């Protein structure tokens, strides 16, 4: 993500040690939802200078992409129930991530692929600042596609080996 500059917003919080990595041991969607609620509440309550964003990594639950994708609605509902709409949002990354209308093997899907299923909790204010600084977010998406197509599947695999 950072090395290929797929997300121009990721490097600053990462280098500033303001990313919380939390690995869930949950084995059920219900348990993961409870942890998500805790992480949403936690992130909302801490200073962004101390923690900008949270990666809730859940290797033991929602390994099936369709189930994971359906769970994203539950995530949005949790944000609303905690009265955090406009404050926090949940972005999605999964080993089998597939954009609507794409084929599973399309390289563009790799922009949202991760070694394990994860929920990325972002501050809306941070996203707004990053978007304002970056300008045309559609161009970021188009650049990412060009980058991944140039890299290709073989290049992607080399990144993981190297």
Report the C-alpha gap between 46 and 93 in whole angstroms.
Answer: 24
Specify whether the CB–CB gap between 53 and 13 falls below 8 A.
yes
Q: pLDDT class for 160, splitting at 50, 70, 90?
A: confident
Domain ranges of the chain: 11-161
Of the candidates 112, 106, 103, the one whose C-alpha atom is nearest the C-alpha of residue 152 is 106
| Average pLDDT over every residue of 38-62 | 97
Q: Can you say how many angstroms the Cα of residue 23 is from the centroid of all Cα atoms in its chain?
A: 14
Q: pLDDT class for 8, splitting at 50, 70, 90?
A: low
Q: For residue range 84-120, what is the model confidence (pLDDT) as tens digits?
A: 999 999 999 999 999 999 999 999 898 889 999 999 9
- Give residue 142's pLDDT: 82
Q: Give percent above pLDDT 70 in the chain.
A: 94
**Which of the two residues, 41 and 6, has the higher pLDDT score?**
41
Helix and strand element counts for the chain (H, E): 5, 4
């Amino acid at each position: 993500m950072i090395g290929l500059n797929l997300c121009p917003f990721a490097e600053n919080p990462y280098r500033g040690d303001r990313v919380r990595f939390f690995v869930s041991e949950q084995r059920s969607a219900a348990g993961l939802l409870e942890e998500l609620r805790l992480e949403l509440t936690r992130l909302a309550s801490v200073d962004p200078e101390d923690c900008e964003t949270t990666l809730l990594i859940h290797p033991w639950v929602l390994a099936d992409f369709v189930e994971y994708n359906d769970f994203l609605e539950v995530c949005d509902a949790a944000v609303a129930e905690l009265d955090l709409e406009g404050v926090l949002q949940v972005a999605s990354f999964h080993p089998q991530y597939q954009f609507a209308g794409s084929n599973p093997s399309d390289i563009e899907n790799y922009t949202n692929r991760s070694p394990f299923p994860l929920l990325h909790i972002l501050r809306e204010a941070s996203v707004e600042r990053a978007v304002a600084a970056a300008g045309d977010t559609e161009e970021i998406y188009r650049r990412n596609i060009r980058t991944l197509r140039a890299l290709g599947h073989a290049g992607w695999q080399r990144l993981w080996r190297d």
